[in-house]
Structure 1
Amino acid sequence: MGHRPGGPGCTGGPLVKSVTGPAEEVVVVGAGLSGLAAALYLTGAGCSVTLVERADDVGGRVGRYRFADYEIDSGATVLTLPALIDDALAAVGADASNTTPPLRIRPLDPAYHARFADGSELRVFADADRMSAEVARACGPDAAVRYRRLRDWLGRVFRAEYDEFLAANFDSPLDMVRYRDKRAALIELIRLGAFGRLGTRVTRTLRDPRLTRLFTFQALYAGTAPEQALGVYGAIPYMDTALGVYFPDGGMRSVAETLAGAFTDAGGRLELGTEVTGLDYRRNRARRVLLADGRALPCDAVVLTADLGSLDRFGARPRRGLRASPSAVVAHGTVPAEIAQSWPVQAHHTIDFGEAWDRTFAEITPWRGGRLMSDPSLLLTRPALSDPGLYLTRGETRYEPFSLLAPCPNLDSAPLDWDRLGSAYLRELLAVLEERGYHGVAAQFTVDRLDTPATWLDQGMLAGTPFSAAHLFRQTGPFRTRNLVRGRENVVLAGCGTTPGVGVPTALLSGKLAAQRVVGENRGVRTRAPATVRRPSGTEAVN
């Protein structure tokens, strides 16, 4: 590995290690958000980039499921920090307003609607005044003062860590003290108490258990319980509750499609339905990317976005002893709109909390002996309430897309037979919703797709979880699996398993950080003539 100046987005000026040798021909494996971002930054830096994806669509964990008369987002439904999308597009001189079609992203207001076992409800607004009023209404004026205090602390934690920890490459944990800006950020985080426990800090500040849940459930994104999560993960609830949650017209899948279109318009080559079987090495350099159809793509460097559970076949062994995050059961389908309109909550995102809380985390997050939730807390997603264009009509009945997510243990902690258990567990969850007032959901929810830990495992995901490695202290920040592959001179990782971690904004940052490892300082934008998209049928479509 060599050293080049910090690339796009770097601050503080440290020299970061990068691949050695030429970096003119780069192959990016996987067209999820991290792969798309990496491809855009590399193309903008003057590289000739080929992006290969085994699925028929782009998006990865932010993709789509197609059914007879509708489509639905297959993965993440929460979008924060949309400016990172603008940054990736700007790398090739594009912006959301001039893509075809234009990408329109709107704030969700409220971001979430929380419902509790005692019948009370809370909406989450990004605006501090509106949220204070909501907290005062539901929990009293003293709670509103406490909310302001917590919001201020979460914001200071976020600002202290973003540039130097979330949006930066690390060559070593010693970077935290070796470079002035990182050292200053570390000192500020220590001063803020950000290496204490998040759950303890939030509970002590807010006191009301309903508010505590609303500002700590995001620890699940990091793969740990609130009482175990470090305060630095306060950045996640800050993004969710203060910086705003957004939704693009047409669904989350529109983000990936827009990034892909900008990439091909800038001269990049995208191959869909193309399975990569391995990398051909000469000594420690990848020389060719091997495809299932018998072809081989020559390369100067490779950006690999495969899940940590699939790295072996690419000659990039994952770190030993990784602990995986909890997993999830997710059901996708449709419900009659008239029935859904009678439900107790009308919101894009509803978090329906069970009465238990600490017990829920104790059940799904232990590394051995995990269990299904005995008192489920569930995420309900109804995107047509924000984008009416997603409604569909069958005969004289109008339907809306509907997704139900239930956290569950991963296969390492609970090796359950999900092929046998999945449908029965879904019936139990729907019965719980019926009891909570979501009448008609058990009988009228037409399920077109059920994802379980077995589904994720079949896709090569670590321990059957789409949330990859848990953000334990030894698996986070400079201690997370590095994006430079040990013993490989020109292979770089991107995606939620490597730095900076799990989530939509972090996936976009991961692609940017991977591009830095390949080219170092951004060498400027170079636009080529539009390229073709090679589809599995062999037909060619001009983007």
Structure 2
Amino acid sequence: MTLRLPERITRRGPALHPAEDGSSASVVVIGGGIAGLATAALLASRGHSVDLLEKNDDLGGRVGSVERDGFRFDTGASWYLMPEVFEHFFELLGTSADAELDLRVLDPSYRVFFEGHPEPIDLRPDREHNRALFESLEPGAGERFDAYLRSAEDTYDMALRRFLYTNFDSPSSFLHPDVVRRTPRLGRLLTRSLESHVAASFSDNRLRQVLGYPAVFLGSSPSRAPSMYHLMSRLDLGDRVLYPQGGFTQLIEVIASLARRHGARLHTGTAATGIVTADPAGGGRPGVAGVAYREEHGGATGTFAADVVVGAADLHHLETALLPEPLQTHPEPSWRGRSPGPGAVLAMLGVEGRLPELPHHSLFFTSDWRQNFGDIFGKDARVPDPASIYVCKPSETDPSVAPEGCENLFVLVPVPADTAIGAGSDEGAGSELVERTADAAIDQVAGWAGIPDLRDRIRVRHTVGPDDFATRYNAWRGGALGLEHTLRQSAFFRPGNVSGKVDGLLYAGASTVPGVGLPMCLISAELVLKRLSGDRSSLPVGR
């Protein structure tokens, strides 16, 4: 049943501002994560009247922060990759990454510890170093490293120009000579796994793991992600890994400030409770009329009127909780064949004393990846034991995140997307499985990196589990990233960013095109802008 527009509509803020083409719209954005904030900023900068609703008291969504006893932890993203995407986004808002952020180059880019090998390896922002490292681990791999990176660079360049900045609403994306010329190769890259693609060139398991790990950035595994995504190696092996001083919370503050500067109104503690629609006078498909909301503190309710609604929260929640079933483009049954990607157990640790054994980024890889990823994505999913884990020590680069003489550790354990694993808490008070998983990860880091007293030096401990992702971010099944990047959930097979049932309802974020990760969420905001402006090109706006 279509929700009816209530008699009284609440609209806060000034009247509409004219856009460059003389038209403007009243827009409500649902969700104050990076995709929602970026969408609000871009649309407000083009003259639209924008209200953003975020149910939590803080902006940023998964890119949040926790402060305890002088330690400040980023709770989500910690890799600054694809800098050209960030730079382009800031250009659209009349500024630059250099003007807004203090970016530092990490060296090493990251360190990898391997089960069964006593010595870790360092990948650096130096292609010749990385080439020599490959050659030292497998004679002849240096030359194959060159070929692999050339392919990754070519695929990355084509993705930026033809597939990431498109809504797939025009055949020109597929008929351009760039794409037609590469069709046979693209077919091979799409139909075999990243794991198989890497194995065709490298035999040393350590090299295979380094080249396969980028699948985890995509919420997938090397055996499930298409080999198209070998393009990711262009980012960490052929370019620099950066870090914004102040952490990724600083990135959120900058984008929120830009949104406000352009006139967007950002409402925290304000939960969207329904997308209001109205039937057109002449019949036909219903269109958006507003968003019903409830203030989390005090319980006041109302409705923001809207010509356009952009759902930048979890797509499953937006569709199944905020729309009646007849108006759902993605009803509950359609999710049965989809994969949410992995869940995560996070441990944020304030550690007394220095940890020179760990650089800014560290990866800990178990030898049996087939078992590890099978535990996460397989039919009989369970928390891997042992697990391949990721550790970030931002205090290596940023003194603001920990008291002097202390270290800040963020430990991530990929687990199944399953809320039954439970929630985290402070000082070990979370669910039994979450805390046991965190304990195992701490002991693994201590043992592999040679820090035997690590557990005894922990002064602050905060954990997060899949149930926290579901509760705080309405994440489907407690997933940590968004829909997994399998072939069936990539590019034009991924859920589109426009409703098929309600006019004026668009989507942004990790559940829709182009995908998961901070750069993809920024691009998703630009794709909303292209929808509203009628831009059907495959190039970034203004290019």
Please give the residue correspondences for 1:37-52 in structure 2 after superposition, counting only pairs within 5 Å.
37-52=38-53
Contact 1:480 1:498 in 2 (8 A): yes
Give, in whole Å, the separation in 2 of the partners of 1:261 and 1:327. 31
Aligned to 1:229: 225
The CA deviation string for residues 224-273 of structure 1, in whole angstroms up to 9 with x for no partner, is 32123211111223223323221001001111111111121122222222
* Residue aligned with 2:506, SS: strand
Aligned to 1:294: 301
- Does residue 408 (structure 1) correspond to residue 415 (structure 2)? The answer is yes
> CA offsets, 1:383-415, max 9 Å, x none?
01012233314xxxx322111111111228xx5
Using the alignment, how far apart are the partners of 1:491 and 1:477 within structure 2?
20
User: Could you say what secondary structure the match of 2:95 adopts?
Assistant: coil
TM-score by length of 1: 0.84
**Counterpart of 2:475?**
461
Answer yes or no: is 1:204 the counterpart of 2:197: no
Structure 1 residue 310 and structure 2 residue 317: aligned?
Answer: yes
Q: Secondary structure, in 3 states, of the residue corresponding to 2:345?
A: strand
- Indicate conservation of the 8 Å contact 2:71/2:350, yes or no: no
Residue 132 of structure 1 is matched in structure 2 by 131
Q: Displacement, 1:417?
A: 5.1
- Corresponding residue for 2:395? 384
Instruction: Please state how far the C-alpha of 1:492 moved relative to its aligned partner.
Output: 0.5
Whether contact under 8 Å (2:421, 2:465) holds in the other structure is no
Shift in alpha-carbon separation, 1:502–1:478, aligned structure 2, 3 A: same
Residue matched to 1:16:
none
Letter in 2 for 1:324: P
Structure 2: how far apart are the matches of 1:466 and 1:348? 21
CA contact (8 A) 1:23 1:300 kept: no
Which residue of structure 2 aligns with residue 36 of structure 1? 37
1:381 is matched by which residue type in structure 2? Answer: C
Contact 1:103 1:255 in 2 (8 A): yes
Deviation of 1:361 after TM superposition, in Å, equals 1.3
Contact 1:326 1:465 in 2 (8 A): yes
- 1:427 corresponds to which of 428, 431, 439: 439
- Which residues of 2 match residues 219-368 of structure 1 at below 5 A? 219-283=215-279, 284-292=286-294, 293-311=300-318, 312-315=320-323, 316=328, 318=330, 320=334, 321=336, 322-338=338-354, 340-341=355-356, 345-366=357-378, 368=379
Closer, same or farther: CA 521–481 of 1 in aligned 2, 3 Å: closer
Question: What amino acid is aligned across from residue 440 of structure 2 in structure 1?
Answer: E
Letter in 2 for 1:168: T
* Relative contact order higher in (CA < 8 Å, ≥ 6 apart): 1
Q: Structure 1 residue 123: deviation in Å?
A: 1.4
Residue 469 of structure 2 aligns to which amino acid in structure 1?
A: W
Deviation at 1:175? Answer: 6.7
Once the 2 structures are TM-superposed, how far is the Cα of residue 28 of structure 1 from its aligned partner?
1.4
Query: 1:473 Cα deviation (Å)?
Result: 1.5
Cα distance in 2, alignment partners of residues 34 and 189 from structure 1: 32
Q: Return the letter of the residue paired with 1:30.
A: G
- Shift in Å, 1:347: 0.6
The answer on whether the counterparts of 2:166 and 2:173 sit within 8 Å (CA) in structure 1 is no
Q: Against the structure 1 CA distance between its residues 82 and 56, is the aligned structure 2 distance closer, same or farther, given a 3 Å change threshold?
A: farther
2-structure distance, mates of 1:506, 1:154: 18
- Alpha-carbon distance, 1:150 to partner: 1.3
Measured on the aligned residues, the alpha-carbon RMSD in Å equals: 2.4
**Residue type of the alignment partner of 2:315:** L
**Deviation by residue 1:306-341 (Cα, 9 ceiling, x = unmatched):** 112312222145351222212111111211133x23
Q: 2 CA distance for matches of 1:458 and 1:54?
A: 11
Structure 2 CA distance for partners of 1:195 and 1:307, relative to 1, 3 Å: same
Distance 1:381 1:204 in 2: 31
Instruction: Give 1:87 deviation, angstroms.
Output: 2.3
2-structure distance, mates of 1:28, 1:181? 37
For 2:52 and 2:487, how far apart are their aligned partners in 1? 33
CA contact (8 A) 2:489 2:495 kept: yes
Q: Which moved more, 1:160-169 or 1:126-135?
A: 126-135
Determine whether 1:448 maps to 2:461. yes
Tell me how far apart the structure 2 counterparts of residues 310 and 105 of structure 1 sit (CA, whole Å): 35
Q: Provide the C-alpha distance between the structure 1 equivalents of 2:402 and 2:432, rounded to a whole number of angstroms.
A: 32
Q: Which residue number corresponds to residue 216 of structure 1?
A: 212
Cα separation, 1, equivalents of 2:352 and 2:181: 51
Q: Is the CA contact (8 Å cut-off) linking 1:62 and 1:256 kept in structure 2?
A: yes
> 1:23 offset after TM fit, Å?
4.6
Counterparts of 2:306 and 2:158 in 1: how far apart (Å)?
Answer: 38
Counterpart CA distance in 2 for 1:34 and 1:182 is 29
Partners in 1 of 2:503 and 2:124 — Cα distance? 47
CA distances 1:56-101 after superposition (whole Å, capped 9, x unpaired):
2222121212334232111010111223223222223233454xxx
Q: Distance in 1 between matches of 2:444 and 2:25?
A: 56
2:152 & 2:86 partners in 1: Cα distance? 23
Offset at residue 192 of structure 1 (A): 6.5
Give the corresponding residue for 1:516.
530
Task: Specify every segment of 5 or more residues in structure 2 that has no aligned partner in the other structure, as ranges.
Answer: 1-21, 280-285, 295-299, 424-430
Question: 3-state SS of the aligned residue for 1:60?
Answer: coil
1:15 equivalent in structure 2: none
Would the aligned equivalents of 1:27 and 1:289 in 2 still touch at CA under 8 Å? yes
Distance, in Å, in 2 between the alignment partners of 1:255 and 1:520 is: 29
Give me the TM-score of the superposition, normalised by structure 2: 0.84
Q: Take 1:143 and 1:45, find their aligned partners in 2: how far apart are those partners?
A: 50
Number of the residue aligned with 2:154: 156
| Amino acid across the alignment from 1:445 | I
Shift in Å, 1:127 = 2.9
Letter in 1 for 2:513: T
**Secondary structure of the structure 1 residue equivalent to 2:270:** coil
CA contact (8 A) 1:309 1:463 kept: no
